[in-house]
């Protein structure tokens, strides 16, 4: 047999593309030629594969070897084709069992000594393979636990090319990797708790409402008022992740090669704290073949932007579309790339460069400096922040009063009840939380009484609300009602929700 085909796969953004590795070994002028629209790292596979075969104690005769990666119209990238290329060559030489190879998907990078190295993206590749009806996959052993998260598929983990050949020739038995044992994380194990924060009851309440309804949160206050402490503890009051959510997050981290080899399934909500020097590509994702950025790494969790006005304005504007659509769309000449982006945005900022405004006894900034500082945030961006709350300076008495603060566990219990109400209400739809309500759904679930309509009419004119902020207030009010177990939005719920937009008028004059 001089010709063989081995099935492999490659990642293009979040999309998996199957690649047929065709190998032809025949008599003729000795040489190793690779075709099929290859990137430089794939072209270099020729030397890696040839050397790995020889260093594995296998015979590589001086023959004409041609490798084609089909389809030829799609550019191949990455080093995951090394192992299938080597298997294809050995299969063409008659050293392996073709019956085993033809029903199997193979991915893996080879080192020069024949070891099989870890490759990114195993989880989404194997998920797509199962959907395509493939039941056996050969992957690097360090990726085996990750691949075993996909049920209904046998994952054969190999440590070397020699081991792979032993299994495919029938001389070595390898047991498929078992499903990795995962303990369900009911609470993040970082030692953080809202009981650590003294005072700031209004800020904690705002965080509770934000998490209960999936709303975005902006914290404004002087340095040292507990804004960052509050944000860091927000994951501790989220409901536990479902298995489906865990798998979605794990796929994103798999593509970037960020998974733990022994405990690959991510059970805790991501918390991504982004520095203000980050670029648009770092935040949204990018590259010649785009990969997920910080927005997608925060999927099903929290994206925290500290010192918000210090970010470049064009970087912040990147967030506007993902906050509305819950996905990142990147367009390149070769196609569109979609990345998941269902996250809670939490941002913190000082009210002025020195941080003391509006306390004019302490503030050293000029009115022009304050206006320039606050003007770095555009109105369209601020409109996408559902809740804006002020974190005042903590007084000495609050630090020393000795009162036991409410724990994250107690807050999380209320949040979980509110989320259960929303799950029941929106069952059978694509809506997960109140923040995802559309205009039509709001007409059904956010109805106001006569008193509520009068209050909203007054707030709309006095606060200069836009249509977007009007809808945001209604959604937040719906969440506050859910936290109290009320079927209807009452006037007190609406007053609290309107209060979360008062900072627009105070600081931005809107």
Determine the Cα–Cα distance for residues 232 and 284; give it in Å rounded to an integer. 21
The SS3 call for residue 291 is strand
Kindly give the parts of the chain with pLDDT less than 70: 1, 181-190, 397-398, 400-403, 509-510
Q: Which residues contact 492 (CB under 8 A, 6 or more apart)?
A: none
Per the CB < 8 A criterion, the answer to whether 451 and 489 are in contact is no
In this predicted structure, what is the pLDDT of residue 509? 67
pLDDT tens, residue by residue, 184-202: 545 554 678 898 888 888 9
Structure tokens at 333: 């000449």
Handedness of CA 106, 263, 273, 299 (dihedral sign): positive
Torsion region of 496: left, alpha or beta (phi above 0 gives left; psi -120 to 50 gives alpha): alpha
Determine the Cα–Cα distance for residues 204 and 188; give it in Å rounded to an integer. 18
* DSSP assignments along 318-344, one per residue: TTHHHHHHSEEEEEETTEEEEEE---E
Per the CB < 8 A criterion, the answer to whether 305 and 346 are in contact is yes
Domain residues of the chain, as ranges? 3-169, 194-508
The class (CATH top level) of 3-169 is alpha beta
Determine the Cα–Cα distance for residues 168 and 129; give it in Å rounded to an integer. 19
Per the CB < 8 A criterion, the answer to whether 315 and 275 are in contact is no
The class (CATH top level) of 194-508 is alpha beta
What value does the CA radius of gyration of the chain take, rounded to a whole number of Å?
A: 28
Per the CB < 8 A criterion, the answer to whether 120 and 86 are in contact is no
The whole-model pTM stands at 0.92
Determine the Cα–Cα distance for residues 138 and 163; give it in Å rounded to an integer. 11
In this predicted structure, what is the pLDDT of residue 386? 94
């Amino acid at each position: 047999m001089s010709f063989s085909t081995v099935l492999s796969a490659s990642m293009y953004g979040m999309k998996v593309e199957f690649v047929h590795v065709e190998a032809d070994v025949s008599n003729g002028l000795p040489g190793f030629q690779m075709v099929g629209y290859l990137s430089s790292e794939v072209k270099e596979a020729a030397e890696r594969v040839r050397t790995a075969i020889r260093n594995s104690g296998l015979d590589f005769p001086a023959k004409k070897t041609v490798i084609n990666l089909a389809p030829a119209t799609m550019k191949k990238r990455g080093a995951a084709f090394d192992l299938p290329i080597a298997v294809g060559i050995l299969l063409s030489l008659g050293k392996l069992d073709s019956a085993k190879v033809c029903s199997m998907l193979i991915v893996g990078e080879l080192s020069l000594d024949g070891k099989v190295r870890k490759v990114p993206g195993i989880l989404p590749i194997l998920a797509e393979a199962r959907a395509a009806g493939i039941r056996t996959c050969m992957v690097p052993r360090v990726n085996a636990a990750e691949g075993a998260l996909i049920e209904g598929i046998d994952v054969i983990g190999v440590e070397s090319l020699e081991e792979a050949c032993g299994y495919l020739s029938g001389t070595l038995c390898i047991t498929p990797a078992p499903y990795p044992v995962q303990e369900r994380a009911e609470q993040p194990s970082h030692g953080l708790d809202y009981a650590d924060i003294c005072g700031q009851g209004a800020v904690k309440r705002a965080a509770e409402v934000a998490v209960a309804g999936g709303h975005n949160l902006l914290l404004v206050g002087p340095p040292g008022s507990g804004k960052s402490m509050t944000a860091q503890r927000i994951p501790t009051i989220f409901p536990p992740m479902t298995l489906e959510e865990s798998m979605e997050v794990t796929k994103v981290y798999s593509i970037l090669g960020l998974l733990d080899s022994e405990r690959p399934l991510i059970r805790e909500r991501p918390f991504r704290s982004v520095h203000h020097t980050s670029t648009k590509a770092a935040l949204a994702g990018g590259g010649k073949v785009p990969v997920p950025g910080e927005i997608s790494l925060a999927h099903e969790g929290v994206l925290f932007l500290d010192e918000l006005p210090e970010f470049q304005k064009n970087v912040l504007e990147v967030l506007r579309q993902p906050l509305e659509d819950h996905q990142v769309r990147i367009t390149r000449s070769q196609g569109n790339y979609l990345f998941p982006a269902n996250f809670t945005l939490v941002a913190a900022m000082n009210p002025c460069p020195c941080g003391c405004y509006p306390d004019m006894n302490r503030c050293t900034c000029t009115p022009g400096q304050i206006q320039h500082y606050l003007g770095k945030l555009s109105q369209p961006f601020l409109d996408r922040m559902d809740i804006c709350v002020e974190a005042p300076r903590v007084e000495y008495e609050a630090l020393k009063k000795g009162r036991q603060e409410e724990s994250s566990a107690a807050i999380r219990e209320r949040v979980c009840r509110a989320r259960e109400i929303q799950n029941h209400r929106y069952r059978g739809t694509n809506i997960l939380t109140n923040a995802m309500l559309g205009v039509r759904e709001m007409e059904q679930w956010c109805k106001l009484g006569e008193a509520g309509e009068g209050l909203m009419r007054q707030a709309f004119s006095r606060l200069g609300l836009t249509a977007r902020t009007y809808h945001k207030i209604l959604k937040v009010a719906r969440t506050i009602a859910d936290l109290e177990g009320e079927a209807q939005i009452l006037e007190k719920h609406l007053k609290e929700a309107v209060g979360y937009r008062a900072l627009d008028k105070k600081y931005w004059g809107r």
